[in-house]
Structure 1
Amino acid sequence: MRKPVKNSLIVAGVVCLLAAAVTAGLLIWRNPFADRPECTVPGLPGTGAEAAASPTVELTVAQLHHASTINAVGLSRGIPERGRIIAVATAYQESSLRNRADGDRDSVGLFQQRPSQGWGTTQEILDPVYSAGKFYDALLEVDDWAQLPLTEAAQKVQQSAFPDAYAKWEPQATTLVRALSGADPLELGCRAGGHRPTAVAPDRPAPAGTEDATPQLTAALAAADAELGGLTVREVTDEGRSATVAVSVPDLAADPAGRSLAALAVAHGTDLSITDVAVDRQLWTDFDWRTADQPIEPGVVRLTVAP
Structure 2
Amino acid sequence: MCARTVTGVRKPIIWSVAAVVLIGVVVAGVVLAVHAFNSGTVAAGPECTVPSDAPASTSTAAATPVDTYPQAVQLQNASTINAVGMSRGLPQRARIIALATAYQESGLRNLPSGDRDSLGLFQQRPSQGWGTKTQIMDPVYAAGKFYDALVQVKGWQRMSLTKAAQAVQYSGFPAAYAKWEGQAATLAAALGGDAELRLSCIAGAQAPTADAPVRKALAGTGSAPTAIKTVLAAAQAELGGLKVVSVQGSTAVLSVSVPGVSAAQAGRALAAWAVAHSTGFAVTDVSVEAQEWTDHVWQAAPTTRPAGQVSITTS
TM bracket (short chain): 0.7 to 0.9
| Higher RCO by CA contacts (8 Å cutoff, separation 6 or greater) | 2
Following TM superposition, the consecutive aligned residue runs of length 4 or more in structure 1 with deviations greater than 3 angstroms are: none
Amino acid corresponding to residue 197 of structure 2 in structure 1: L
Q: Gaps (5+ residues) in structure 1?
A: 1-33, 46-50
Larger fraction in strand: 2
2:138 to 127, 134, 142: 127
Equivalent residue for 1:270? 279
Equivalent residue for 1:200? 211
Equivalent residue for 2:295? 286
Matched, 1:53 2:64: yes
Q: CA deviation at 1:143?
A: 0.6
Larger fraction in helix: 1
Give the distance between the partners of 1:183 and 1:195, measured in 2 at CA. Answer: 27
Cα-to-partner distance string for 1:240-260 (whole Å, 9 max, x where unaligned): 200010000000111000000
Cα RMSD for the two superposed structures? 1.5
Give the distance between the partners of 1:228 and 1:79, measured in 2 at CA. Answer: 12
Change (3 A) 1:110 1:35: farther
Change (3 A) 1:300 1:143: same
How many pairs does the alignment contain?
Answer: 267
1:40 to 19, 35, 49: 49
1:115 to 88, 112, 126: 126
Larger radius of gyration: 1
Equivalent residue for 1:258? 267
TM-score when scaled to structure 2?
Answer: 0.83
What SS does the corresponding residue of 1:304 show, helix, strand or coil? strand
Matched, 1:245 2:254: yes
Matched, 1:300 2:313: no
Q: Gaps (5+ residues) in structure 2?
A: 1-29, 33-45, 55-61
Question: What does 1:12-91 align with in structure 2 at a 5 Å threshold?
Answer: 36=32, 37-44=46-53, 53-91=64-102
Q: CA deviation at 1:35?
A: 6.0
Q: CA deviation at 1:155?
A: 0.6
- Percent of matched pairs sharing the same residue: 57
Cα-to-partner distance string for 1:56-81 (whole Å, 9 max, x where unaligned): 00110000000000000000000111
TM-score when scaled to structure 1?
Answer: 0.85
Cα-to-partner distance string for 1:144-163 (whole Å, 9 max, x where unaligned): 00111101110110111111
Give the distance between the partners of 1:249 and 1:274, measured in 2 at CA. Answer: 22
Give the distance between the partners of 1:84 and 1:59, measured in 2 at CA. Answer: 17
Kept in 1, the 8 Å contact 2:63–2:181? The answer is no
Equivalent residue for 1:141? 152
Give the distance between the partners of 1:264 and 1:148, measured in 2 at CA. Answer: 28
What SS does the corresponding residue of 1:208 show, helix, strand or coil? coil
